[in-house]
């Protein structure tokens, strides 16, 4: 017994010691030292090393522990501030931009491109870009440069083919396994549930997505053509006819200025830096420059930026836009007397109606006390539009996907799966006529379907009402442009769903002006909620602040899901 107790005690001590060491290691990772930036050099922006997100956050700790590539997430506002700082920094000679490997969202890339364009507009410094394997997204960002150089070597993967979206449909597959998904919706364009009920896109769904991708490409191609001094027609001809195949094609069509191998590129970079040789050129990594130069304001008066970044869900979890958590965050911002105005930065495809209502209720209370301005990221659709349409002014990027004013619900019927596939017999016993309505073991009857439809119709009526009141548009007009249809920012401007095409920086300027001082440098601009620290990421990954998995599964499959969410997300390669 004595030996057994000693063994148990040794194991306990070992576990305690291991946890102490683990905490110490992660604490060290969580408090990185501030990099020292040279007083003079070339600002190097390598998009394969950074991701432009909504907020700057710590590097993924597990990637670091596994020896993976250190990719830093830089918030778009921090990135823009750094570019603005570089424009007036006498130590920055020029910007060297590498866009291969760009994985940033299309709107954040667009806002960053706008900041680089403003940098160029100062006229005192150049932007030089180098590409090897251009994609639509990476070339779009590169095209802002004064000079674009490209490798002369063939064999690179070139994917400038326009903007596209893939829709997947599981209807036939689910039927094969006996699953009957009962879809109840309002809005002929509200297509989120179609993937579970159809084998192809409905005509309305195909129509809206064709209009969206065309609108996005029109914006992107116009900006590329303008930057390179060619016509949109020339660019479209080259893309449609697959003329952009080899590096010399880019040179011939005026999409790059020179073809340089590595040695020639380094010589040119040295010449531009007024250095004898490339090894004398000091390259300043963009992530280090952001950390060193972008400082939070120290003033007592604050501009708050509330980041609605992700799917809107019920509960209080920390890794999504959880209704209870965000309602609490907004309430604290409202109570903070130091906050004089608020920008609501929305990057969400929507989600839970209940959570959206909780968030909107708090935003309405906040707006009654402080100026509230909206800025839209890649998505501000369905629930994302629900919570934000009542802001005093809405800024949207031309490439933002917004609207999707519609509601849907789904209840799977697994009765045939049980009987025909699994050969399982099921009998339901309940006290009332519809007690087993959500058991998933039988289809809804007409009364039950009508019951759910009544709920969805009521929610849709609520949605169109708040948009009508928030945007000052007659309710019948909201219904006409609603029906679940998704619009780009360019098209949303024409139908008055947004007020102006602009950036987060534009929204901050406007909010500051409403608060009495348009000069942003006079404000302490503070983001809410604070991005997750490295320790919070670790805790989240290990299960802290998470609901039990079985509870989540049970909730998803046994409770009807009524959602305000757009169906698919469009990404630019």
Q: Are residues 87 and 140 in the same domain?
A: yes
Q: Is residue 9 part of a domain?
A: no
pLDDT tens per residue across span 223-281? 999 999 999 999 999 999 999 999 999 999 999 999 999 999 999 999 999 999 999 99
Q: Which pLDDT belongs to residue 215?
A: 96
Q: Are residues 98 and 125 in the same domain?
A: yes
Q: Which pLDDT belongs to residue 71?
A: 87
pLDDT above 70: percentage of residues in the chain: 85
Range of 280's domain?
41-160+244-293
Q: Is residue 16 part of a domain?
A: no
Residue 467 structure tokens? 């948009």
Q: Which pLDDT belongs to residue 297?
A: 72
Q: Is residue 504 part of a domain?
A: yes
Q: Are residues 344 and 379 in the same domain?
A: yes
Q: Are residues 312 and 249 in the same domain?
A: no
pLDDT tens per residue across span 182-217? 888 887 888 878 888 899 999 999 999 999 999 999
Q: What's the structural domain count of the chain?
A: 2
Domain boundary among 293, 326, 353: 293
pLDDT tens per residue across span 91-119? 999 999 999 999 999 999 999 999 999 99
Q: Which pLDDT belongs to residue 21?
A: 45
Q: Is residue 266 part of a domain?
A: yes
Domain with residue 501: its CATH number is 3.90.226.10
Residue 250 structure tokens? 């880019």
Decide: 333 and 364 in contact? Cβ < 8 Å.
Answer: no
Interatomic CA distance for residues 98 and 83, integer angstroms: 15
Q: What is the mean pLDDT of residues 280-288?
A: 97
Where does the pLDDT of residue 140 fall: very low under 50, low under 70, confident under 90, or very high at 90 and above?
very high
pLDDT above 70 (res 380): yes
pLDDT above 60 (res 61): no
pLDDT above 50 (res 63): no
pLDDT above 50 (res 4): no
Average pLDDT across the chain, whole number: 88
Q: Are residues 371 and 460 in the same domain?
A: yes
pLDDT above 90: percentage of residues in the chain: 69
Q: Are residues 389 and 288 in the same domain?
A: no
Q: Which pLDDT belongs to residue 408?
A: 87
Q: Are residues 264 and 325 in the same domain?
A: no
Q: Is residue 78 part of a domain?
A: yes
Domain boundary among 275, 293, 311: 293
Q: Is residue 23 part of a domain?
A: no
Q: Are residues 63 and 146 in the same domain?
A: yes
Q: Are residues 111 and 50 in the same domain?
A: yes
Q: What is the mean pLDDT of residues 491-518?
A: 97
Q: Are residues 365 and 480 in the same domain?
A: yes
Decide: 186 and 562 in contact? Cβ < 8 Å.
Answer: no
Q: Is residue 454 part of a domain?
A: yes
Q: Which pLDDT belongs to residue 443?
A: 92
Interatomic CA distance for residues 153 and 235, integer angstroms: 23
Q: Are residues 255 and 353 in the same domain?
A: no
pLDDT above 70 (res 66): no
Q: Is residue 168 part of a domain?
A: no
Residues 6+ away with beta carbon under 8 Å from 46: 98, 101, 285, 286
Domain boundary among 254, 271, 293: 293
Q: Are residues 362 and 277 in the same domain?
A: no
Q: How many residues does the chain have?
A: 573
Q: What is the mean pLDDT of residues 331-343?
A: 97
């Amino acid at each position: 017994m004595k030996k057994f107790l000693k063994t148990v005690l040794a194991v306990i001590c070992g576990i305690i010691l291991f946890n102490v060491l683990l905490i110490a290691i992660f604490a060290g990772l969580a408090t990185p030292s501030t990099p020292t930036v040279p007083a003079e050099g070339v600002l190097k922006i390598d998009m394969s090393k950074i991701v432009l997100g909504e907020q700057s956050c710590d590097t993924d700790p597990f990637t670091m522990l596994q020896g993976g590539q250190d990719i830093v997430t830089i918030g778009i506002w921090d990135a823009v501030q750094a570019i603005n700082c570089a424009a007036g920094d006498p130590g920055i000679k020029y910007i060297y931009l590498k866009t291969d490997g760009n994985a940033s969202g299309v709107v954040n890339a667009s806002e960053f491109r706008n900041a680089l364009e403003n940098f160029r507009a100062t006229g005192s410094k150049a932007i030089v870009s180098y590409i090897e394997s251009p994609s639509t997204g990476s070339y779009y960002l590169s095209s802002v440069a004064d000079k674009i150089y490209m490798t002369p070597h063939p064999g690179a993967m070139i994917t400038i083919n326009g903007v596209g979206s893939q829709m997947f449909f599981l209807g036939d597959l689910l039927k094969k396994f006996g699953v009957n998904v009962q879809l109840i919706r309002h809005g002929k364009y509200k297509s989120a549930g179609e993937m579970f009920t159809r084998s192809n896109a409905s005509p309305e769904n195909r129509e809206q997505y064709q209009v969206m991708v065309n609108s996005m490409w029109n914006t992107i191609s116009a900006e590329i053509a303008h930057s390179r001094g060619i016509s949109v027609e020339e660019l479209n001809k080259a893309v449609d006819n697959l003329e952009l195949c080899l590096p010399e094609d880019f040179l011939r069509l005026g999409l790059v200025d020179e073809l340089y191998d590595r040695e020639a590129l380094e010589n040119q970079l040295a010449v531009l830096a007024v250095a004898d040789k490339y090894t004398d050129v000091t390259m300043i990594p963009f992530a280090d420059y952001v950390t060193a130069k972008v400082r939070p304001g120290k003033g007592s008066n604050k501009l708050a930026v509330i980041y609605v970044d992700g799917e809107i869900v019920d509960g209080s979890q920390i890794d999504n836009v959880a209704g209870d958590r965000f309602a609490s965050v907004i309430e604290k911002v409202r109570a903070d007397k130091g906050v004089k105005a608020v920008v609501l930065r929305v990057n969400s495809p929507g989600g839970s109606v209940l959570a959206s209502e909780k968030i909107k209720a708090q935003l309405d209370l906040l707006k009654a006390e402080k100026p509230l301005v909206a800025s839209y990221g890649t998505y501000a659709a369905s629930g994302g539009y629900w919570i934000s349409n009542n802001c005093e002014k809405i800024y949207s990027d031309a490439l933002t996907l917004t609207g999707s004013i519609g509601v849907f619900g789904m209840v799977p019927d697994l009765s045939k799966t049980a009987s025909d596939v699994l050969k399982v017999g099921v009998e339901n016993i309940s006290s009332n006529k519809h007690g087993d309505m959500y058991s998933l073991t039988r289809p809804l009857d007409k009364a039950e379907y009508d019951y759910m439809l009544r709920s969805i119709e009521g929610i849709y009526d609520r949605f169109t009402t708040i948009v009508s009141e928030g945007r000052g548009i007659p309710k019948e007009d909201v219904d006409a442009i609603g029906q679940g249809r998704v619009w780009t920012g360019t098209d949303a401007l024409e139908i008055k769903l947004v007020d102006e095409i602009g950036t987060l920086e534009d929204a901050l300027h406007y909010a500051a002006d409403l608060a009495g001082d348009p000069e942003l440098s006079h404000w302490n601009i503070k983001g809410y909620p604070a991005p997750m620290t490295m320790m919070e990421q670790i805790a989240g990954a290990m299960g802290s602040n998470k609901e039990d998995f079985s509870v989540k599964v049970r909730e998803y499959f046994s409770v009807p899901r009524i959602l305000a969410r757009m169906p698919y997300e469009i990404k630019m390669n």
